[in-house]
């Protein structure tokens, strides 16, 4: 039996998310039909519930890896403030190694207030902070011993992304790249990096910023000219993926009520990588990633619904065809 327990290093954002649930966030209709929230200036409004949680693609990924029985290391930047303490406490509670965390001396930890309306709709006030101000050489893989690099949004810092991918390849690590909006805007440079990495996971809108295709299968095929494993999600419409051997088309894992969709994409991508790092095939990985993200949207907060090892999976609508 293989006793090796894979280690995954996740790089990217760490933030605190504070949810306020209140009847007062019930939207009102403007003349043009648009829904808005409005408060008289200077008023004080009561809310019914407050929920503290933490997020950011890299910390959410680490929690998936750890709950799935893998070693997880977080690399990212926070400020010296209570939100940073909350991020580290959540990582500790899930046994994530946070010894590679960096502190910004200029910026506070990323922080969002999410106003939850009774209908489940939400308005987000966000301070992006330390997670979006990376100094050029803030992160390095020197001294890191890991099997996989899981690199999420780096706030458009392609140079840093390139450095991390190159360092990982030099160490023979596998690389999963989950680019953020800032990286996607620099399509040509990102596509160069897609040739170097082992796996990419993106939603359809994002993949369409990089490749052309008349349908879902064409989109993933074109992306797979660059990257061996390509996975494209499309919210409740399902998933299309390829590993250059097969094409997998999957539907919805479960039609659950969406309580809070924060972290859906992170749970999917990290679930996918956790499963593949354990040696599962693409089809099994998609089932687990779908279950993980479905459970996340069914709970408040990006980490609450992340599945623990041993959770019993069921089948889902899924078709496999030759590449
Ligand atoms: N309404 C929904 N019902 C059930 N599952 C959902 C729903 N929305 C998303 N999911 C699950 O989450 C996965 C990822 O969702 P989506 O394609 O919207 O990712 P994303 O756009 O990257 O999300 P994010 O906004 O978090 O970046 C889906 O493949 C699906 O498994
Ligand atoms: Mg996403």
Please, what's the b/e burial string for 293-305 (b: 16 or more CB within 10 A of its CB; e: otherwise)?
bbbbbbbbbbbbb
For the ranges 120-124, 148-152, 233-237, 301-305, the lowest mean pLDDT is seen at: 120-124
For the ranges 32-36, 199-203, 244-248, the lowest mean pLDDT is seen at: 32-36
Band (pLDDT 50/70/90 cuts) for residue 81 is very high
- Higher pLDDT, residue 210 or 40: 210
Q: How far apart are the CA of 182 and the centre of ligand 2, in A? A: 12
pLDDT of residue 27: 84
DSSP state of 202: E
pLDDT of residue 1: 52
Q: What is the pTM of this model?
A: 0.96
Q: How far apart are the CA of 266 and the centre of ligand 2, in A? A: 6
List, as one string, the DSSP characters of 163-210.
Answer: HHHHHHHHTT-EEEE---HHHHTSHHHHHHHHTT-SEEEEEHHHHTTT
Q: How far apart are the CA of 52 and the centre of ligand 2, in A? A: 22
* pLDDT tens by residue, 177-190: 999 999 999 999 99
Q: How far apart are the CA of 203 and the centre of ligand 1, in A? A: 8
Strand 239-242 to 102-103 pairing:
unpaired
- CB–CB of 155/16 below 8 Å? no
pLDDT of residue 120: 74
Q: How far apart are the CA of 267 and the centre of ligand 1, in A? A: 9
How crowded is residue 85: how many other Cβ atoms within 10 Å of its Cβ? 13
* pLDDT tens by residue, 84-96: 999 999 999 999 9
Residue nearest atom 17 of ligand 1, based on CA coordinates:
235
pLDDT of residue 3: 67
Band (pLDDT 50/70/90 cuts) for residue 2 is low
CB-based contacts of 308: which residues, under 8 Å, 6+ apart?
67, 68
- CB–CB of 223/187 below 8 Å? no
Atom of ligand 1 nearest to the CA of 263: 26
Atom of ligand 1 nearest to the CA of 264: 26
Residue range 48-55: average pLDDT? 97
* Pocket of ligand 1 contains residue 235 by CB under 6 Å: yes
Nearest-angstrom CA–CA distance, 317 and 170: 39
Strand 239-242 to 71-75 pairing:
unpaired
Residue percentage of the chain with pLDDT more than 90: 89
* pLDDT tens by residue, 259-296: 999 999 999 999 999 999 999 999 999 999 999 999 99
Band (pLDDT 50/70/90 cuts) for residue 216 is very high
Residue range 125-140: average pLDDT? 92
pLDDT of residue 121: 80
Residue nearest atom 3 of ligand 1, based on CA coordinates:
236
pLDDT at 300 over 80: yes
Residue nearest atom 15 of ligand 1, based on CA coordinates:
235
Band (pLDDT 50/70/90 cuts) for residue 137 is confident
Nearest ligand to the C-alpha of residue 261? 1
């Amino acid at each position: 039996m293989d006793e090796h327990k894979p280690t995954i290093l996740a790089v990217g954002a760490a933030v605190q998310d504070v949810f306020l649930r209140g009847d007062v966030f019930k939207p009102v209709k403007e003349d043009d039909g648009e829904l808005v929230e409005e408060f008289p200036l200077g008023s004080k409004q009561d809310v019914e519930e407050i929920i503290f949680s933490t997020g950011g693609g890299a910390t959410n990924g680490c929690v998936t890896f750890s709950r799935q029985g893998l070693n997880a290391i977080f690399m990212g930047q926070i400020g010296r403030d209570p939100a940073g303490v909350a991020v580290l406490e959540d990582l500790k509670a899930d046994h994530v190694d946070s010894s590679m965390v960096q502190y910004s001396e200029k910026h506070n930890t990323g922080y969002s207030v999410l106003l939850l309306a009774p209908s489940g709709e939400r308005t987000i006030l966000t301070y992006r902070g330390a997670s979006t101000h990376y100094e050029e050489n803030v992160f390095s893989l020197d001294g890191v011993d890991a099997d996989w690099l899981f690199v999420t949004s780096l706030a458009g810092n392609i140079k840093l992304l390139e450095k991390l991918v190159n360092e990982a390849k030099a160490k023979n690590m596998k690389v999963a790249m989950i680019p953020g909006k800032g990286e996607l805007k620099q399509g040509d440079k990102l596509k160069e990096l897609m040739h170097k990495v082992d796996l990419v996971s993106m939603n359809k809108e994002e993949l369409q910023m990089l490749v052309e295709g008349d349908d879902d299968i064409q989109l993933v095929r074109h992306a797979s000219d660059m990257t061996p494993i390509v996975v494209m999600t499309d919210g409740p419409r399902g998933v299309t993926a390829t590993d250059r051997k097969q094409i997998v088309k999957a539907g919805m894992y479960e039609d659950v009520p969406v309580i809070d969709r924060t972290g859906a994409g992170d749970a999917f991508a990290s679930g996918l990588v956790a499963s593949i790092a354990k040696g599962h095939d693409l089809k099994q990985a998609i089932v687990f990633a779908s279950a993980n993200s479905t459970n996340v949207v069914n709970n408040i907060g990006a980490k609450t619904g992340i599945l623990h090892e041993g959770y019993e999976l069921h089948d889902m609508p899924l078709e496999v065809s030759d590449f």
